[in-house]
Amino acid sequence: MSNESQKLSIIINYNQIKFEFEGNPNEVAIATTNFLLKNVPEIDLAHKISVNFSAKDLIDRFHKVIKITPEGPRVWTGEIKMSDKDIVALQLVAVKIGFETGNNSSDNTTIQEIQLVTGLKTKSLSSRISELLKSGYVLREKNDDGAKYKITTQGIDWLYQNLSKKNIISK
């Protein structure tokens, strides 16, 4: 069963508050977490050490270098010079933003798709993906179609810090 056809419904009753949400499992998980963090005081302590980038967080951080186009999510650097590693990580963030905003059916992608939209050479792209995997900034998911890659939460934070230091994006 594909993620597109999976729906999750949840109802939470807490004190006098009722929360109902339905959608794909990822959206429901995020909405539920946000509800709990806002309405259950004990969870506030856990919230101080949790990291979860919402679509809004990602757009706020990367809107200058990522755009959602009719052709799909893209790294949009213009005249800005960036390393291949930054471009690969940014494209994976773009795919995640596309998924979170409903413009992509998945939050992961193949090396071939990354190459197609970034124009990076195969050898360089494979090397950068390998570096990002070893650092824990990217995850490889294997399925019947082959390997697909997605950015991790730690990878998003690393990329944001890295691009901020280079003054490509502002904090």
Interval 18-53: pLDDT, tens? 888 888 888 888 888 788 777 776 666 665 777 888
pLDDT for res 1: 44
Q: Does 122 have pLDDT greater than 80?
A: yes
CB 111, CB 147: distance < 8 Å = yes
Task: Say if residue 3's pLDDT is above 50.
Answer: no
Is residue 67 helix, strand or coil? Answer: strand
pTM here is 0.73
* 164-170 contacts, C-beta under 8 A, 24 or more apart: 168/64, 168/65, 168/80, 168/82, 168/86, 169/61, 169/62, 169/64, 169/65
